[in-house]
Every structure is written in C-alpha cells, then in structure tokens.
Chains A and B, each alone.
Chain A
Amino acid sequence: AQTVTQSQPEMSVQEAETVTLSCTYDTSESDYYLFWYKQPPSRQMILVIRQEAYKQQNATENRFSVNFQKAAKSFSLKISDSQLGDAAMYFCAYRGRNQFYFGTGTSLTVIP
C-alpha cells in the first residue's frame, strides 16, 4: 500500500528566510504524481505545486520549489523568501493508479 510520511509535525521560519518541508513516500508504482497542498486557517485546501514522476526536472512555482528524488522516494518543498501568508498546514500528497494519499501534515509558522 502507498504511504506518505511527513516527519516534521511543526516547523517555523523567520520572515524572508527559506524553509524546507520534507516528505517521503512508499510505492511500487512507476507512474504517479506528487503534490503539495496548503491549508491556511480558513481550511481551504490550496494546490501549491505538482510534480509528475516521469519528469526529472524539479517543479517550480514562484517562491515554491520541490526537490524530487525518485530513487529515494523523497519529495521536499522549499519555500523561499517566506511571507506571513505562508503560515499554514502543508500536506504532501501522492496520486497513483487508484487514489490520493495524504501525509499527516506539517504546521508552518512564519515569525515576523
């Protein structure tokens, strides 16, 4: 069965600094997709960034980028120039053949 692990329940970062959230997953599938979702206090789930497993190039969306290591089954999220609005729960997600699997989440605090 697929599992998604986020080993950091809580993280904090100084405003304007960089923070990396870790995510590992376990799968036997070769084709899949990986996502990072943000859930701010409003509780609306927002897609931050996506990565297709067959692509070697790491995805980037403005201040957000990933470090995708397929062999190590690792998919970390880097947030650069952190802003107060980045404070939220972040969930790593895996989409395989059957369904989505979510990690347990990392609560990110941004310190002014």
Chain B
Amino acid sequence: GAVVSQHPSRVICKSGTSVKIECRSLDFQATTMFWYRQFPKKSLMLMATSNEGSKATYEQGVEKDKFLINHASLTLSTLTVTSAHPEDSSFYICSARPGQDVLGLFFGSGTQLSVL
C-alpha cells in the first residue's frame, strides 16, 4: 500500500517554457502533499505544502509565481515550473502522507528537470 506515482521521471525543456509535473497517490487519499527539491548529493529541501482545495503554502524563498502548485483532487497534485531557466534544473520529488502520522511520508520516484 501507500504508492505515490510521479510523472514524468525526466524532462528536458528549452529555457522560457513551462513544465508540469504530476504527483498521484494511487491507493490512498492525500489531503496534503509535499514538493521537495534536491540538489546532487544534498538533502531534500521543502518547497511547498500542497493542500487539496486550497492554496499551497510555500516555504520562504520559494517563488510562488514560478512554482505553481495545484491540488485539485484528493489524489492529484501538480507542480508547474513556469518560464523555466537553467537554474531551475534540479531533481523534484513529491510526497504524500496517509492519514496516520506514524506511517510517515511516501515518495514519488522524482522528476529530473533539465533546462537548456
């Protein structure tokens, strides 16, 4: 149980274009999902908390207009990197938490974004 699916796994795009990343909880409902960014050999940096039916909560220093988050249903959250630039190139990971805190977070397989 507790499977989180993330697509695409890898995307290459031109500078100035927008990229959408999907995160789905396959076998549970997630009112809250989390988006992380990870640089090579570094820890996970929380970008934002995605709340179903309401606005996302962004961490300090994360541009809301650049990283658009939509959590339209209990099983789907999307992260759109708008007008991507090379400095946005990174590994993005989503996660979701089933109802019980003790179960921890379950992660998607991540998306490697490369902006040319």
Interface residues of A (CB under 8 A from B): 33, 35, 37, 42-47, 50, 52, 89, 91, 93, 95, 99-100, 102-105, 107
- Cβ of B101 under 8 Å from chain A: yes
Interface residues of B (CB under 8 A from A): 34, 38, 41-44, 46, 49, 91, 93, 95, 101-107, 109-110
The complex places the Cα of A52 from the Cα of B95 at a distance, in Å, of: 20
Contact A33 B102 (CB under 8 A): yes
Can you name the residue of chain A whose Cβ is closest to the Cβ of B103?
Answer: A50
Interchain Cβ contacts within 8 Å, total number: 51
Can you name the residue of chain A whose Cβ is closest to the Cβ of B57?
Answer: A99
Interface of chain A: mostly helix, strand, loop or mixed: strand
The complex places the Cα of A33 from the Cα of B101 at a distance, in Å, of: 8
Nearest CB of chain A from residue B59's CB, rounded to whole Å: 9
